[in-house]
């Protein structure tokens, strides 16, 4: 089968991987392989005065900061996190040392006998406490100004202000984090479950202090990630690399679920305050938006998460005068990092709930109120970029309201019911496709290769990984379509940095848009030169669309090359006694450009909606004195099939000239709009404002009691 663009098809694995199973990192074994386990801090902030280690049996090893041959800092945007604790610890769970050996039981015994003598320091646990500490506890701070917000507020007839909060979210990917390191012939090789092989390679180059040709990284089949395997595998890769060099043997490090939850990154908690100025005609003339994110103990990716949160702060609305302030605060808690949506969901929740509550404040219909302020083609974004492509939200809203009978239900539910509270809510949202600002052009500079083989097959050589989102189907379909060959003739194996160029990380919904677009160009060149040799390669490097203008210093211009769009409707019932929420039905309409494979889009939609429901309702994670209170899958609850309602969705097709066959981004979009739609539905049911997620029965009880 050829697998035409837009068709639905079952995933077709590369010929070498047929057989109905896959080998994950936990399945792999090497001769003489040792196992590793991590000793972690039990203090949120302290100096390490001494470490007392028991007698170590022959064949067992301790690996600590002294075994890091290069710089003991993990390379990322900011290199502030040590591979292994260096004199201080800054959160509970921070790695101090590894115990390595052949038997896991003995490793556990050795770990239990190690004693760390701490000098405890005063920790900071909340964003409020961090602000009181001043600049020492602020990782980064930005400001965006559009138009003239100060005089607009001075002449305002009414000012509406409110605060919105979101909490942690844990990834709960199916496969916990895992890596294996091997040392031989002067080289280190790391295999692992990861999103970004070149992030890991660059971290190892810095940690080992070696030339890049002495480092090899291979992605193993990865059982889910959602952003949680973007940055953290770099830390673990360093651990097994240092251990492999010290022991001279392969070393495997696999987390169990509780350890994975304890120490890996989470979604950033947020506090977002929005103040809106209205003129004498009750029209919005300006907004002031203040965004605070909890970065945890180390900065990591937080600066870019904050940027996307700020660039998403006005949502899908055209506001003429805006001031956005943002900061990431340091706390002595588990570091936060990448998670599906990357700061966008926090801002989307805030602006959508604000617009809904503002409409209620003005005694206007919330949907009609939102429609009045929709951004349109030609309008300016919050960063003063030009919205150059069609915005099909009006048509999408018509579809969504028709599918769900939204207006009829909203009016009926507004009248209330004593036996059960019913509500319906709608959210409007977008997602800026690919890396923020100048990231694609100036930092990533993606390269891709296509290799024609003598047997007529074509191999994709890119660093992007399939972690369940489907590029082993979508990228192969792009090549098959461009070359007019069967999809079975397109080979795409897990990336190995010895073989593939750096096409950038598998993040930011960029794999199809950026990498797929480059592959389409490479395929067209390959087709034109097909007969020049039995075997040859074509290399393509990313070139930014010529219309993009961006100033990274001022955050002015086109933050993204294009946007994907969505609208969700959620219908709920709220039990009047227990305040438990039952989600009755969900509708979604999406514009992702040309869908490369509609079945994969369906999976992204249904998965994103379900994950968004968890974020909105039941995924409670709190930190008390630096300790996560929900540290296992028993305590941290995610949606099951029993929690999944009927989901209806449809696509409005559009065409992006710089995407492969017109495609835009899709992976993060379906997650973003669920929380505000659900919260709006609950607000419709209970007639009280929703300012925080997750919307739990306990939260609702407090909100209802506070409203009376």
CATH code at 595? Answer: 3.30.365.10
For 454, other C-beta atoms within 10 Å of its C-beta total: 8
Residue 415 has pLDDT above 90, yes or no: no
Mean pLDDT of 15-26: 70
Residue 514 has pLDDT above 80, yes or no: yes
d(CA 204, CA 141): 29
d(CA 241, CA 389): 47
pLDDT at 17: 47
Q: Which residue has the higher pLDDT, 443 or 16?
A: 443
430, 451: one domain: no
CA-based nearest residue to 269, from 591, 701, 694: 694
Please say whether the beta carbons of 383 and 559 come within 8 A: yes
Select from 496, 516, 541 the last residue of a domain: 541
d(CA 435, CA 507): 8
207, 334: one domain: no
Residue 36 has pLDDT above 50, yes or no: yes
d(CA 372, CA 375): 9
103, 47: one domain: yes
pLDDT at 19: 56
CA distances (Å), 99 to each of 44, 52, 631, in order? 22, 13, 23
Residue bearing tokens 């089949």: 221
pLDDT band at 259 (very low <50, low <70, confident <90, very high): very high
Q: What is the DSSP letter of 264?
A: S
In a domain, 390, yes or no: yes
d(CA 697, CA 577): 10
Residue bearing tokens 């692992």: 192
Counted domains in the chain: 3
d(CA 374, CA 465): 36
293, 399: one domain: yes
d(CA 519, CA 661): 11
pLDDT at 1: 45
Least confidently predicted of 240-244, 366-370, 612-616, 642-646: 642-646
Query: What's the pTM value of the predicted model, to 2 decimals?
Result: 0.96
517, 647: one domain: no
pLDDT, averaged across the chain: 96
- Domain CATH for 108: 3.90.1170.50
Mean pLDDT of 479-492: 98
d(CA 678, CA 348): 13
Q: pLDDT for 419-440, tens place per residue?
A: 789 999 999 999 999 998 889 9
Q: pLDDT for 318-334, tens place per residue?
A: 999 999 999 999 999 99
Q: pLDDT for 549-603, tens place per residue?
A: 999 999 999 999 999 999 999 999 999 999 999 999 999 999 999 999 999 999 9
In a domain, 152, yes or no: no
- Residue 511: give the domain boundaries: 15-23+446-541
pLDDT at 14: 41
In a domain, 131, yes or no: no
CA distances (Å), 320 to each of 283, 289, 311, 423, 551, in order? 11, 14, 15, 32, 20
Please say whether the beta carbons of 170 and 274 come within 8 A: no
Please say whether the beta carbons of 291 and 306 come within 8 A: yes
Write out the DSSP string of 435-455. Answer: SSTTIIIIII--EEEEEE-TT
90, 185: one domain: yes
In a domain, 95, yes or no: yes
Select from 541, 576, 598 the last residue of a domain: 541
Please say whether the beta carbons of 72 and 82 come within 8 A: yes
CA-based nearest residue to 414, from 372, 369, 365, 368: 365
pLDDT at 612: 98
pLDDT at 307: 97
Specify which residues 35 forms β-bridges with.
Answer: 101, 252
In a domain, 441, yes or no: no
Classify residue 169 by burial, with Cβ atoms within 10 Å: 0-12, 13-18, 19+.
buried
d(CA 515, CA 503): 7
Mean pLDDT of 163-186: 98
Q: pLDDT for 94-116, tens place per residue?
A: 999 999 999 999 999 999 999 99
289, 385: one domain: yes
193, 285: one domain: no
209, 100: one domain: yes
Q: pLDDT for 445-471, tens place per residue?
A: 999 999 999 999 999 999 999 999 999
In a domain, 1, yes or no: no
In a domain, 621, yes or no: yes
Residue 418 has pLDDT above 70, yes or no: no
pLDDT band at 707 (very low <50, low <70, confident <90, very high): confident
Helix (DSSP H) and strand (DSSP E) numbers for the chain: 17, 27
Alpha helices in 156-267 (DSSP H): 197-208, 232-247, 257-263
340, 416: one domain: yes
Residue 101 φ then ψ, to 5°: 180, 180
pLDDT band at 442 (very low <50, low <70, confident <90, very high): very high
570, 691: one domain: yes
Mean pLDDT of 299-319: 98
Going by C-beta distance under 8 Å and a sequence separation of 6 or more, which residues neighbour residue 625? 44, 123, 125
Least confidently predicted of 276-290, 411-425, 467-481, 526-540: 411-425
In a domain, 550, yes or no: no
Select from 253, 282, 304 the last residue of a domain: 253
343, 195: one domain: no
First to last CA, the chain: 64
Going by C-beta distance under 8 Å and a sequence separation of 6 or more, which residues neighbour residue 39? 95, 96, 97, 98, 99, 111, 114, 116
Going by C-beta distance under 8 Å and a sequence separation of 6 or more, which residues neighbour residue 411? none
Mean pLDDT of 474-497: 98
CA-based nearest residue to 442, from 307, 339, 551, 520: 551
């Amino acid at each position: 089968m050829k697998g035409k663009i837009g068709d639905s098809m079952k995933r077709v694995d590369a010929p070498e991987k047929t057989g109905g199973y896959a080998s994950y990192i936990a399945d792999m074994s090497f001769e003489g392989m040792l196992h590793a386990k991590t000793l972690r801090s039990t203090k949120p902030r302290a100096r390490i005065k001494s470490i007392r280690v028991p007698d170590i049996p022959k064949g067992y090893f301790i690996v600590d900061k002294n075994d890091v041959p290069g710089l003991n800092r993990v390379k990322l945007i900011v290199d502030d996190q040590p591979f292994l604790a260096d004199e201080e610890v800054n959160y509970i769970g921070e790695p101090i040392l590894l115990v390595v050996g052949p038997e896991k039981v003995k490793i556990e015994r050795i770990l239990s006998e190690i004693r760390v003598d701490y000098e405890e320091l005063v920790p900071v646990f909340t964003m409020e406490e961090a602000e009181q500490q001043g600049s020492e506890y602020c990782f980064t701070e930005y400001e965006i100004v559009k138009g003239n917000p100060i005089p607009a507020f001075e002449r305002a007839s009414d000012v509406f202000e409110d605060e919105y909060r979101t909490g942690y979210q844990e990834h709960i990917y199916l496969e916990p984090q895992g890596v294996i390191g091997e040392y031989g012939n002067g080289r280190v090789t790391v295999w692992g479950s990861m999103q970004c092989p070149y992030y890991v390679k660059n971290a190892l180059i810095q940690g080992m202090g070696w030339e890049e040709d002495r480092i090899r990284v291979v992605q193993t089949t990865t059982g889910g990630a959602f952003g949680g395997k973007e940055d953290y595998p770099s830390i673990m890769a360093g651990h097994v690399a240092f251990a492999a060099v010290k022991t001279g043997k392969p070393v495997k490090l696999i987390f169990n679920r509780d350890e994975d939850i304890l120490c890996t990154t989470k979604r950033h908690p947020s506090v977002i305050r929005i103040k809106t100025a209205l003129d004498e005609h009750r029209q919005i003339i300006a907004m002031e938006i203040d965004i605070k994110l909890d970065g945890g103990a180390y900065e990591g990716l937080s600066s870019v998460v904050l940027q996307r949160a700020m660039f998403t702060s006005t949502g899908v609305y055209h506001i003429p005068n805006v001031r956005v302030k943002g900061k990431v605060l340091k706390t002595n808690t588990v570091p936060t990092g990448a998670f599906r949506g990357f700061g966008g969901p926090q801002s989307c929740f805030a602006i959508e709930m604000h617009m809904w509550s503002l409409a209620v404040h003005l005694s206007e219909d919330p949907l009609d109120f939102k429609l009045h302020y929709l951004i349109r083609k030609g309008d300016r974004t919050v960063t003063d970029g030009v919205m150059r492509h069609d915005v099909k939200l009006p048509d999408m809203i018509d579809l969504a309201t028709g599918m769900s009978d939204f207006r009829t239900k909203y009016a009926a539910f507004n009248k209330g019911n004593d036996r059960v509270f019913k509500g319906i809510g709608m959210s409007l949202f977008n997602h800026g496709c690919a890396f923020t600002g100048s990231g694609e052009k100036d930092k990533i500079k993606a390269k891709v290769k296509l290799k024609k083989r003598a047997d007529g097959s074509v191999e994709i050589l890119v660093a992007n990984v399939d972690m369940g989102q489907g590029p082993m189907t979508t990228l192969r379909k792009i090549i098959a379509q461009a070359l007019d060959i069967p999809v079975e003739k397109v080979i795409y194996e897990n990336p190995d940095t010895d073989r593939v160029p750096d096409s950038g990380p598998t993040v930011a919904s960029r794999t199809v848009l950026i990498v797929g677009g480059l592959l389409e160009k490479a395929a067209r060149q390959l087709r034109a030169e097909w007969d020049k040799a039995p075997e040859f390669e074509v290399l393509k490097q990313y070139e930014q669309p010529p219309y993009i203008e961006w100033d990274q210093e001022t955050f002015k211009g086109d933050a993204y090359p294009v946007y994907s769009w969505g609208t969700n409707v959620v219908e709920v019932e709220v039990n009047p006694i227990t305040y438990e929420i039952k989600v009755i039905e969900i509708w979604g309409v999406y514009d992702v450009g040309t869908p490369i494979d509609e079945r994969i889009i369906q999976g992204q939609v249904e998965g994103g909606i379900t994950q968004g429901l968890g974020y909105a309702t039941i995924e409670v994670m709190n930190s008390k004195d630096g300790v996560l209170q929900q540290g296992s899958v028993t305590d941290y609850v995610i949606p099951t099939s029993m929690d999944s309602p009927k989901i209806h969705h449809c696509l409005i097709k559009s065409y992006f000239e710089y995407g492969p066959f017109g495609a835009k981004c899709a992976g993060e979009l379906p997650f973003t709009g669920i929380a505000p739609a659900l919260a709006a539905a609950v607000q419709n049911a209970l007639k009280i404002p929703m300012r925080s997620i997750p919307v739990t029965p306990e939260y609702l009880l407090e909100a209802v009691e506070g409203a009376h």
